Amino acid sequence: MREIVLDTETTGFEPSEGHRIVEIGAVELFNHMPTGRTFHQYINPQRDMPVEAFNVHGLAEDFLRNHPVFAQVGQAFLEFIADARLVIHNAAFDIKFLNFELGKAGLAQLDWGRVTDTLALARRRFPGSPASLDALCRRFGVDNSAREKHGALLDSEILAEVYLELIGGRQPDLVLAPAGPRKSGSAQSDADWRPRPRPAPLPPRLTPAEAQAHAAFVAGMGDGAIWKRYS
């Protein structure tokens, strides 16, 4: 199962008030394991940067002016996420902005049916407890020391770790799944897999002195010792 953990940074809270996305970060998971594939893009919002937003993510208007507008990168973003399930913290915020930008660019919008909201997941699992990303990092012992300011790719990487803890760890179903999709015909299917004997036995970890001491101990127990059946 392919999942994309993603985050955005914006100039404000409402696209209807003229606010825009300024950064997208996304991390790919396959069978709940990071693959190493990421998507990261700074975006020119074509407007000023409110000081309140700058204080959150530190992205200045002068810096963003040198990056593409959303319409130039929207298709690449859609190609990266493809049909994967989307994992987002406080998904209503990010989906609202992404669909606004996608619609403005004439691109396909995102369906809510493919979204997992980790904020809602955390609130169901820990009712009444703080459910911010920082609070969940503290709960699960996830290192977020590099998070001096919000950053879409860094926050996606942190959220991926938090998400895996929320669902029970990297392998919640206790299946040793592969880290990436299988190539057709390259290996047996998971259903057909069976453990095989080792080609060569592991070397004994018992030292000769320990074996000798054990033999002397068993000999002292007499002929009726159960150990003698196995020696």
User: Whole-angstrom distance between the N-terminal and C-terminal Cα of the chain?
Assistant: 50
Domain count, the chain: 2
Residues 137 and 214 in one domain: no
Would you give the DSSP letter of residue 104? H
The answer to whether position 187 is within a domain reads: no
Least confident of 16-20, 53-57, 223-227: 223-227
Res 187 pLDDT > 50: no
pLDDT recorded at residue 89 = 98
The answer to whether position 177 is within a domain reads: no
Main-chain dihedrals φ then ψ at residue 67, nearest 5 degrees: -110, 165
Residues 229 and 139 in one domain: no
The answer to whether position 7 is within a domain reads: yes
pLDDT recorded at residue 205 = 77
Catalytic residues: 150
Residues 110 and 23 in one domain: yes
Show the domain range for 136: 2-166
Residue 27 pairs in a beta bridge with 5, 38
Span 46-89, pLDDT tens digits? 999 999 999 999 999 999 999 999 999 999 999 999 999 999 99
Residues 70 and 141 in one domain: yes
Residues 209 and 112 in one domain: no
Share of the chain above pLDDT 70, in %: 84
